[in-house]
Amino acid sequence: MAHIFGPVPSRRLGRSLGVDLVPPKTCTYDCLYCEVGPTTHLTLKRRAYRVEEILRELKGYLEHPSQPLDFITLTGSGEPTLNLGLNEVIGAVKALTGVKVAVLTNGSLLYREEVRREIRGADVILPSLDAGREETFRRLNRPHPRLSLALLVSGLKALRREFSGAVWLEVMLLKGLNDGEEELTALRDLLRQISPDLVQLNTAVRPVADSQAQALDLAEMEAIAGFLGPGVEVVAQPPAERALPGEITDEEVLQMVARRPMTARDLALALGKPLKQVDRILGHLVSHGRLAREVHQGQDFYRSFPAFRSKEMNLHI
């Protein structure tokens, strides 16, 4: 399926079926830490990206779901609110299933009233805010020139006022980029103004678009959570998972790593299979040239070949 992936074990959403609403790599930002790779289509223009196809795939999957789901998550190989079919997809999911709907967004278009209106059928919205100052916002998120931190914050505040579901705000912390005291103090002020239900701290635990984006360690993350105040948690660890019976296929593994790099453990958790079985299939796929292995922060990650873009990556094929 081209637009549906998973279910994957999400650190924030449990077992989540992903729905990819935009083609790679269509986004309003070009973040240093993007796991999808550099943005090739930086835009603010919303379009109806293959809405019929997405709905057909969703319907097909939900008729025979392979595993129980905690969430259906609208996301994308870019920014999902760029799809004009957002409201229609949320409505279709609600009509087809009782599974909760989450939208993973960078939040950049929430300043537009129509986007907030279209998104309000979701149960949880997970926007991002990585910077307390304009300069850091530009350096880290590399947004479309017509966007600004002030516009982003105005959209987040309006969402908080109008949306009756939960708002879980993600902050991606990167070493030397947004972990200094001045930056964190400014960020804390903005978080107080926005007042989300939850603030979730993440760091670059997977291979990312730009090698400037370096992860913090857990102790540093926890110290920052304490500094930012109550309602702030660290989510940079994968959740525990239950094992499911049966063998996995090469295609299942290839589909999982097509959108983001994963470790053998991530895959074992996502597929609900023993690590040994996953290791065996990964070894087979790498030796037959169907997958690449890459070392990041001392861990082996697996991803499909077309997603490799950075020459700086340390490849073990």
Residues found near ligand SF4 in the complex (CB under 6 A): 27, 29-31, 34, 36, 39, 78-79, 106
Q: Residue 21 or residue 278: which is nearer to ligand SF4 going by CB?
A: 21
Q: Residue 128 or residue 271: which is nearer to ligand SF4 going by CB?
A: 128
The conformation of residue 208, written as its DSSP 8-state character, comes to -
Alpha helices in the chain (DSSP H): 51-63, 86-96, 113-119, 134-141, 149-162, 181-194, 218-228, 250-257, 264-271, 275-287
**CB 32 within 8 Å of CB 204:** no
Least distance from ligand SF4 to the Cβ atom of residue 89, Å:
18
Angle 75-123-165 (CA atoms, 0-180°, nearest 5)? 125
Least distance from ligand SF4 to the Cβ atom of residue 96, Å:
26
277's CB contacts (< 8 A; 6+ apart) are: 247, 248, 268
Least distance from ligand SF4 to the Cβ atom of residue 24, Å:
9
Q: Residue 27 or residue 119: which is nearer to ligand SF4 going by CB?
A: 27
What is the spatial distance between Cα 120 and Cα 87, in angstroms, rounded to a whole number?
8
Instruction: Give me the sign of the Cα torsion angle 3, 6, 8, 12.
Output: positive
Q: Residue 172 or residue 285: which is nearer to ligand SF4 going by CB?
A: 172
Least distance from ligand SF4 to the Cβ atom of residue 152, Å:
11
What DSSP string runs through 223-258?
HHHHHH-TTEEE--SPPP----SS---HHHHHHHHT
**CB 49 within 8 Å of CB 21:** yes
Q: Residue 168 or residue 273: which is nearer to ligand SF4 going by CB?
A: 168
Which pair of tokens denotes residue 232?
Answer: 């702030």
Least distance from ligand SF4 to the Cβ atom of residue 312, Å:
18
Least distance from ligand SF4 to the Cβ atom of residue 27, Å:
3
Beta bridge partners of 172: 202
Q: Residue 34 or residue 93: which is nearer to ligand SF4 going by CB?
A: 34
Q: Residue 39 or residue 73: which is nearer to ligand SF4 going by CB?
A: 39
What is the spatial distance between Cα 64 and Cα 61, in angstroms, rounded to a whole number?
6
What is the spatial distance between Cα 76 and Cα 72, in angstroms, rounded to a whole number?
12
Sequence letter at residue 251: E
What is the spatial distance between Cα 143 and Cα 208, in angstroms, rounded to a whole number?
17
Q: Residue 27 or residue 232: which is nearer to ligand SF4 going by CB?
A: 27
Least distance from ligand SF4 to the Cβ atom of residue 174, Å:
12
Least distance from ligand SF4 to the Cβ atom of residue 142, Å:
8
